[in-house]
């Protein structure tokens, strides 16, 4: 009987690495190895040493290989999906010159605003890159590095995104994909190439950047002997270009040209993210107009304050995260780390509508409501970017796919359900970024379309929840506070 082939999908996120071992034919998960990362910084700074990502990748692969029981010779492909936007500055020895600036490092907000103005305003950016610079975007972080650490910037011989850094360690090839490249701020989704004028504005030589592969599933090389020895795998294994975490989750959900188009997804994690795969190139200044890993587009909005912020409110109130009830008159905007959508990088949290009768459980419920209304307002903009009217009956009834850690939380699910009025679909697969990366790895090994591979795998039945009547009163109350307060939420210290 022939031995089953195995592929490895790596999810290198902000706080951990997961290496998912999957049967290449069926997509059945054989094992998931895990290893933690450390994030350091305060007052807007968020940094990590890229070397720990590589060490964590080794630990996660070793753990997954042991748990799966598969021989190393059965592995045919590997792909990395990584946290988006982070800036990895490398020296001549291809070692990091400093800790990586992570996506949620907000110190580069002034640079983002200055870059937006320098190119002629938001629409000049969306016409080229699909996105307006915000603090998260790599271009703003590079500009921050130039201004605050010019010696480091001058010594830099290579600029990488987190997933690029790991992919280069695997294959010895400097490569990225259109999806993750579209989050840099210097890749044109219109021309599908680096934008020479923007690079000139940034003082960034294109020779410092990786080559952009056609898709995230493109085979860009094979596992080098050194990487194979480090990981305990065989050399010559196909290495995919890989992609960003959001693009990989879309592949894992079967979204894209060979699958579902214009179907909205809400990811409830440390950040709250909404996106949809579409053939329409997005150009809304309110969104990140990303490319998808398979050649389509992925309009996306990201809010910084989601599960982590609400958990912090629960801790302050000494409540369990599910010990909540609707907020009543209270409105709590939990912008504890600034905010990205809406673009309020220096914002802090806001509580209003507090009364004698307000209970701690209502305050916690108000934090959930503030986070959910923020992300659902962004969802409407994503649907418009797909050419859809979010209030049209057919669109408003379209199921919302709910993923991420929050999708396993009762209060998160019920709050989204109540405030959206939409039917919800909760996929059975919980490691969708890693599943998508595994499909990209299978694509690199076989040449098949990664979205079609993920759809064929059909790794589990979804939980479907019918819609409930929308809580319009809470929606309008929170939205009204947000609209009134947004101009004053900036920290003026």
Tell me the pLDDT tens digit for each residue of 115-131.
Answer: 999 999 999 999 999 99
Per-residue pLDDT tens digits for 155-212: 999 999 999 999 999 999 999 999 999 999 999 999 999 999 999 999 999 999 999 9
Residue 237 CB-half CA count within 13 A = 29
Sequence-distant (6+) residues with CB within 8 A of 347 are: 335, 338, 339, 489, 490, 491
Q: Is 376 left (phi over 0), alpha (psi -120 to 50) or beta?
A: alpha
The C-alpha atoms of residue 15 and residue 37 are separated, in whole angstroms, by 5
Mean pLDDT of the chain: 94
**Cα R_g (the chain), whole angstroms:** 22
Strand stretches in 269-347, DSSP E = 272-275, 288-291, 297-303, 331-333
The CA distance from 438 to 434, in Å, is: 6
User: Mean pLDDT, to the nearest integer, of 402-415?
Assistant: 95
- Is residue 370 within a helix (H) or strand (E), and if so which, with residue range? helix 360-385
Q: Which domains does the chain have, with CATH numbers?
A: 6-248+433-452 (3.30.420.40), 258-426+462-493 (3.30.420.40)
Work out the pLDDT band at 488, boundaries 50, 70, 90: low
Q: Active-site residue 11, yes or no? A: no
Inform me whether the pLDDT recorded for 2 exceeds 70.
no
pTM of the model: 0.91
Selection from 172, 103, 163, 98 nearest residue 133 by Cα:
103
What tokens were used for 403?
């993923």
Per-residue pLDDT tens for 23-53? 999 999 999 999 999 999 998 999 999 999 9
- pLDDT tens digits, 72-84: 999 999 999 999 9
Query: What confidence category does residue 485 fall into, taking pLDDT thresholds of 50, 70 and 90?
Result: confident
Bridge partners, residue 188, by sequence? 193
Give the residue among 333, 334, 325, 336 at the shortest CA–CA distance from 361.
325
Instruction: Cite the DSSP H helix spans in 130-274.
Output: 138-148, 150-155, 162-171, 178-181, 196-202, 225-231, 245-252
The reported pLDDT for the residue numbered 493 is 31
Instruction: Identify whether the C-beta of residue 122 lies closer than 8 Å to the C-beta of residue 33.
Output: no
Does 1 score more than 80 pLDDT? no
Q: pLDDT exceeding 70 applies to what percent of the chain?
A: 98
Q: How far is CA 376 from the centre of its chain?
A: 17
pLDDT band, residue 491 (cuts 50/70/90) = very low
Query: What's the first-to-final CA gap in the chain, in angstroms?
Result: 70
User: Does the pLDDT at position 428 exceed 90?
Assistant: no
Catalytic-labelled residue, pool 11, 177, 195, 245: 245
Q: CA 137 to CA 123: how far, in whole Å?
A: 16
Q: Fill in the DSSP letter of residue 164.
A: H
């Amino acid at each position: 009987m022939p031995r089953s082939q195995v592929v490895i999908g790596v999810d290198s996120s902000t706080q951990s690495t997961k290496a998912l071992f999957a049967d290449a034919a069926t997509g059945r998960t054989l094992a998931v190895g895990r290893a933690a990362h450390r994030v350091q910084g305060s007052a807007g700074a968020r940094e990590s040493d890229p070397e720990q990502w590589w060490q964590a990748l080794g630990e996660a692969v070793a753990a997954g290989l042991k748990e799966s029981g598969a021989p190393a010779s059965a592995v045919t492909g590997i792909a990395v999906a990584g946290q988006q936007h982070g800036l990895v500055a490398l020296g001549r020895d291809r070692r990091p010159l400093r800790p990586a600036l992570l996506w949620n490092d907000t110190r580069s907000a002034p640079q983002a605003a200055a870059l937006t103005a320098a190119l002629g305003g938001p629409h000049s950016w969306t016409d080229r890159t699909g996105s307006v610079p915000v603090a998260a975007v790599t271009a703003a972080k590079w500009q921050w590095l130039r201004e605050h650490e010019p010696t480091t910037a001058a010594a830099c011989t290579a600029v990488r995104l987190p997933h690029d850094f790991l992919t280069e360690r695997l294959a010895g090839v400097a490569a990225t994909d259109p999806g993750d490249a579209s989050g840099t701020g210097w890749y044109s989704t219109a021309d599908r190439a680096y934008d020479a004028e923007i690079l000139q504005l940034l003082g960034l030589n294109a020779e410092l950047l990786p080559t952009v592969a056609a898709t995230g599933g493109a085979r860009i090389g094979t596992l080098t002997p050194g990487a194979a020895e480090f990981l305990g795998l065989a050399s010559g294994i196909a290495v995919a270009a890989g992609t960003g975490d959001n693009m990989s989750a879309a592949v894992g959900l079967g979204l894209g040209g060979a699958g579902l188009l214009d179907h909205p997804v809400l990811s409830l994690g440390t950040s709250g993210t909404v996106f949809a795969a579409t053939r329409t190139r997005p150009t809304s200044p309110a969104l990140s107009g990303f490319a998808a890993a398979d050649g389509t587009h992925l309009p996306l909005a990201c809010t910084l304050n989601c599960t982590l912020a609400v958990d912090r409110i629960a801790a302050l109130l000494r409540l369990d995260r599910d010990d909540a009830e609707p907020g009543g008159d209270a409105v709590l905007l939990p912008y504890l780390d600034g905010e990205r959508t809406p673009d309020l990088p220096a914002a802090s949290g806001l509580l209003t509508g507090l009364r004698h009768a307000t209970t701690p459980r209502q305050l916690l419920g108000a934090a959930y409501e503030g986070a959910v209304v923020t992300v659902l307002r962004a969802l409407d903009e994503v649907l418009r970017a797909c050419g859809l009217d979010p209030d049209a009956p057919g669109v408003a009834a379209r199921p919302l796919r709910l993923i991420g850690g929050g999708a396993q939380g009762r209060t998160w699910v019920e709050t989204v359900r109540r405030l959206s009025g939409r039917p919800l679909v909760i996929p059975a697969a919980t490691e969708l970024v890693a599943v998508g990366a595994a499909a990209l790895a299978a694509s690199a090994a076989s040449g098949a379309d990664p979205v079609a591979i993920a759809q064929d795998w059909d790794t589990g039945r979804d939980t479907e929840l019918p819609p409930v009547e929308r809580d319009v009163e809470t929606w309008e109350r929170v939205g009204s506070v947000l609209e009134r307060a947004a101009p004053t939420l900036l920290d003026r210290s």
